[in-house]
Chains A and B, each alone.
Chain A
Amino acid sequence: MKNEVFARAMTQIDDELIKDAHAVKNNTRLRVIRTVGSAAACLAVVIIAGILLLSNGVSIKTENVFTGNAPSDAHLPAAFADGPDTAAYADSVSVRLTVRTRKDVQIEVSDGVLTVSDGDGNAVYAGDAYEGKSPVSVIWTVENPDEEKTYSMTVNGKTVRLISVGGEWKTEK
C-alpha cells in the first residue's frame, strides 16, 4: 500500500480531532442562504453597473481659478507656451480643471478659449470646442471678463459656470 506509513499514522491521531471533524454537518439551509445571498449580490452588481452605464458619469474637478495679466507659461501646456494663442492677456480669468468620463470628453465654452492636455500632459487642443478621450486637463481662459456676466462651459452635457462674486471669480456646477 502506497504511503501506508501516513495512513497508519493518521489512524492514531487524537480522538478529539476525529470527533471534531465530523462535528461539521452538511448544512443545507446554510448552503441555500449562501447561494441566495450570492445571487442577490450578483444581481445588485448588475443593476448598479447598468445604472452607471446608463448615467452620464462625468467627473469635473476644478483645480483653481486665477486672474491676472496672463496665465504664465507654467500654466500652459509646453506646446502652446510660445504659440500664437498664448499672447499675454491684459486682463483675464482662467479656470484649470480636470475632466474624467467613461465616454469621450466633449467640452464647449460660450466664451473664451480652451487649452486641453491629455492624461500624459501632452497639449492636444486650443479653441472653443473639444472632443476627445478621457481624462483631460483643461485651462479655460476668458479675456477681459465682465463681472456682470455668467460664463459657461458644457462638459458632456454638464454645465460649469464662471461667475464673479464680490469681485472674486468662482466656478459653480
Chain B
Amino acid sequence: MTDERIIELYFRRDESAVKATDEKYGAYCMTVSNNILGNRSDSEENVNDTYVRLWRSIPPTRPKIFSAYIAKTARNLALDKLNGAHAQKRGADEFTASLEEVGECTPSSVSTENSAEMNGLSAAISEFLRNENADARRMFVCRYFYSESTAEIAKRFSCGESRVKSSLMRTRKRLAKHLEKEGYTI
C-alpha cells in the first residue's frame, strides 16, 4: 500500500491504518527503536507507543515523507524513555558511543527546553548536511540519526570501516566549524 493511501486511512479514522503502517514499517520502526534502546522488550513497547502517537497526530499532520515521520516519532519517544525521571536505562552501546562522538560538535549554549533554539540548531545541521557530498552526508545521518554501527554503515556503502570512521570524523569537524560560524559556542 502506498504511503498516501495509508495516510488517507488515518484521515478517515480507519483503524486499519495502524495495521497497514505495521505491515509496511514495523521492522523499520523496530530498528530505529532498538538502535537507541538496545533491548527488544523496550523497543517493542516503543513501537506500540509510536503507533499511538501516529494515530493521535494524523490528522491534522499530513506527513510529506511518511517513513521519516515515523522514524522521527519513534526516535523522539525512545529518547524520552532514556531520559525519563526514573530511567536507569543506558541505551544501546552504539547509540551511547555515537553520543560520545558528537561532543566536539554539540553547542553548549542551546537548551533542549527551548524549542526555538532547538529548531534553529536542527535547521543549521540540515543546511550543513545539504552542502556535504552525498556519501559523507548519508554516513552522518546513518550514524547520528539511525544510530547504525560503523560496521553496518560500511556494509551499506560497500567500503571499509576505517573509511566510515574517517568520513564521520571529518564531517563532525566541518559541522563544528559551520556551527561556530553560525554563532554557536561549541
Contact = CB atoms under 8 A, between A and B. Distances in A.
B103 interface: yes
A172 interface: no
A23 B146 CA distance: 13
Interface stretch (B6-14, B15-23, B44-52, B60-68): B60-68
A7 B146 contact: no
A165 interface: no
Given A2-B103, A3-B99, A30-B158, A19 B65 contact: yes
A145 to B, nearest CB: 64
B111 interface: yes
Mostly, the A contact residues are helix
A10 B158 contact: no
B64 A10 contact: no
Contacts of B122: 9-13
Contacts of A25: 156
B141 interface: yes
B105 interface: yes
Contacts of A11: 72, 75-76, 79, 122, 145
Mostly, the B contact residues are helix
B142 A5 contact: no
A74 interface: no
Contacts of A13: 122, 125-126, 129, 141, 145
A5 to B, nearest CB: 5
A19 B137 CA distance: 12
A20 interface: yes
B112 A4 contact: yes
A6 B155 CA distance: 25
B71 interface: yes
Contact of A19 (B68, B91, B126, B158): B68
A21 B121 CA distance: 20
B179 to A, nearest CB: 10
Contact of A16 (B65, B125, B144): B65
Given A9-B118, A14-B126, A17-B130, A24 B138 contact: yes
12 contacts: A5-B106, A5-B110, A8-B76, A10-B144, A13-B125, A15-B65, A17-B141, A17-B145, A18-B68, A26-B155, A27-B158, A34-B158
Given A4-B112, A20-B138, A25-B156, 6 more contacts: A3-B100, A5-B110, A11-B145, A12-B72, A16-B68, A20-B134
